[in-house]
């Protein structure tokens, strides 16, 4: 059986790029979260990420389980901290915040969660999380107490990405932050993608399918949207996003 990482790689190979939707358990009632997950699957979304900067709800594990039961696309944890671990998911983006210099998010949270991830036998996908300046202070920036990479300094992003690859990370996540004013700049994506061989996920502040398409054309392997789908009125856009991201390779 394929690992979730291998599944993601085959999605990338087959579809040109993959479309992932972030579901934040804090943002809606359980029923609505499950409904969104089902709509994602029906709209050609390739996988779901579950997580958030905070956690007000005490039912994280239950929420992951319910979503996992409702869909057959990969359900991957995208934890804001070491409390967001659940054995019901297919895998976890085991992230280290390589853009910042706060040791707690580079290795501290990982030390806390590693024994739990191991005991749950959860597939861990080692991922370098790179926060990019996006106009205003985001929750990710505030909560991690770390400085984002300046958006006009692609060379810093490139060197950081290279370091992540040399350290053996399997994916990079270029993140503007949830609800960001401005998404990660196209030229920064282009430069990073040119410099590394590992897949690059891009998310934060993407509210329009055309913007998602631009990020794919700049070289993003996976696109993540979260906030735009919190509004039920936008669910009809799921298919448009999926279409904008995919450029199926035959």
Chain residues in the site for ligand 1GP (CB under 6 A): 22, 175, 178-180, 203-206, 224-228
Rounded to a whole number of angstroms, the minimum distance from the CB of residue 118 to ligand 1GP is: 25
Looking at the Cβ atoms of 52 and 69, the one nearer to ligand 1GP is 52
Looking at the Cβ atoms of 232 and 249, the one nearer to ligand 1GP is 232
Alpha-carbon distance of 188 to 90, in angstroms, equals 30
Looking at the Cβ atoms of 88 and 138, the one nearer to ligand 1GP is 138
Alpha-carbon distance of 135 to 137, in angstroms, equals 7
Rounded to a whole number of angstroms, the minimum distance from the CB of residue 243 to ligand 1GP is: 18
Residues near 2 by beta carbon (within 8 Å), at least 6 away in sequence? 10
Rounded to a whole number of angstroms, the minimum distance from the CB of residue 201 to ligand 1GP is: 8
CA of 124: how far to CAs of 4, 69, 91, 121, in Å? 9, 20, 6, 9
Looking at the Cβ atoms of 164 and 226, the one nearer to ligand 1GP is 226
Alpha-carbon distance of 223 to 238, in angstroms, equals 12
CB 63 within 8 A of CB 34: no
Rounded to a whole number of angstroms, the minimum distance from the CB of residue 130 to ligand 1GP is: 11
Rounded to a whole number of angstroms, the minimum distance from the CB of residue 179 to ligand 1GP is: 5
Looking at the Cβ atoms of 128 and 205, the one nearer to ligand 1GP is 205
Alpha-carbon distance of 209 to 246, in angstroms, equals 11
Alpha-carbon distance of 51 to 10, in angstroms, equals 24
């Amino acid at each position: 059986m394929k690992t979730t990482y291998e599944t993601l790689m085959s999605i990338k190979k087959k579809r040109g790029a993959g479309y992932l939707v972030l579901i934040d358990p804090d943002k809606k009632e359980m029923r609505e979260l499950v409904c969104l997950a089902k709509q994602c699957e029906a709209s050609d979304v390739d996988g779901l990420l579950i997580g958030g900067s905070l956690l007000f709800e005490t039912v994280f594990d239950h929420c992951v389980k319910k979503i996992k039961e409702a869909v057959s696309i990969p359900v991957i944890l995208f934890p804001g901290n070491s409390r967001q671990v659940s054995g019901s998911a297919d895998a976890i983006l085991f992230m280290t915040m390589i853009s910042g210099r706060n040791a707690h998010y580079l290795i501290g949270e990982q030390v806390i969660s590693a024994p739990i991830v191991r005991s749950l036998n959860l597939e861990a996908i080692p991922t370098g999380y790179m926060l990019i300046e996006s106009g205003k202070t985001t929750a990710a920036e505030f909560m991690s107490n770390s400085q984002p990479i300046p958006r006009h300094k692609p060379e810093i992003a490139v060197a950081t990405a290279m370091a992540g690859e040399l350290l053996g990370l399997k994916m990079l996540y270029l993140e503007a932050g949830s609800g960001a004013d401005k998404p990660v700049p196209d030229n920064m994506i282009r430069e990073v993608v040119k410099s590394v061989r590992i897949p690059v996920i891009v998310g934060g502040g993407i509210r329009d399918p055309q913007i998602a398409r631009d990020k794919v054309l700049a070289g993003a392997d996976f696109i993540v949207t979260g906030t735009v789908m919190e509004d039920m009125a936008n669910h009809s856009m799921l298919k448009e996003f999926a279409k904008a991201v995919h450029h199926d390779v035959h």
